[in-house]
């Protein structure tokens, strides 16, 4: 299997496994998630199609590294897998952090600040 194709498939498997086995946010059961997928595809298809069109490509793929399957408008199918993985992983991590902050607030604790939110300390 070509490298780009393998990486795309592995990225999807890892993200789905992360949700189903570790994070368990329930993201895949929410209609809002699937609406988000449709919105992202609505923008990805024209932009990616313009960038990868075979008639005048801006982004080139080495044929030996991809599956060669392109749909629609010459878009390598691997791009959809990577798009799914990137969007889904971002939403999963965002949701996980928000749920931890809700639990902390419900327990009367202040959520932990990230490194960029910590106040400066005197030495």
pLDDT digits (tens, 9 = 90+) for 9-48: 999 999 999 999 999 999 999 999 999 999 999 999 999 9
Q: What is the pLDDT of residue 10?
A: 97
pLDDT higher than 60, residue 49: yes
Cα gap 100→15, rounded to integer Å: 20
What is the mean predicted confidence (pLDDT) over 46-72? 88
What pTM, to 2 d.p., does this model score? 0.77
pLDDT higher than 80, residue 122: no
Mean pLDDT across the chain: 88
Cα gap 90→84, rounded to integer Å: 10
Cα gap 33→91, rounded to integer Å: 9
């Amino acid at each position: 299997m070509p490298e780009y194709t393998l990486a795309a498939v592995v990225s999807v498997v890892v993200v789905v496994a992360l949700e189903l086995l570790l994070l368990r946010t329930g993201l895949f059961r929410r209609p809002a998630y699937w609406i988000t997928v449709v919105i992202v595809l609505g923008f990805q298809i024209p932009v990616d199609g313009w960038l990868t069109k075979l008639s005048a490509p801006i982004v080139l793929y080495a044929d030996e590294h991809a599956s060669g399957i392109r749909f629609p408008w010459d878009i390598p199918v691997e791009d959809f897998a990577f798009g799914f993985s990137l969007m889904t992983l971002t939403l999963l991590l965002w949701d996980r952090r928000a749920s931890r902050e809700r639990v902390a607030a419900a327990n009367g604790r202040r959520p932990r600040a990230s490194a960029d939110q910590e106040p400066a300390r005197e030495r």
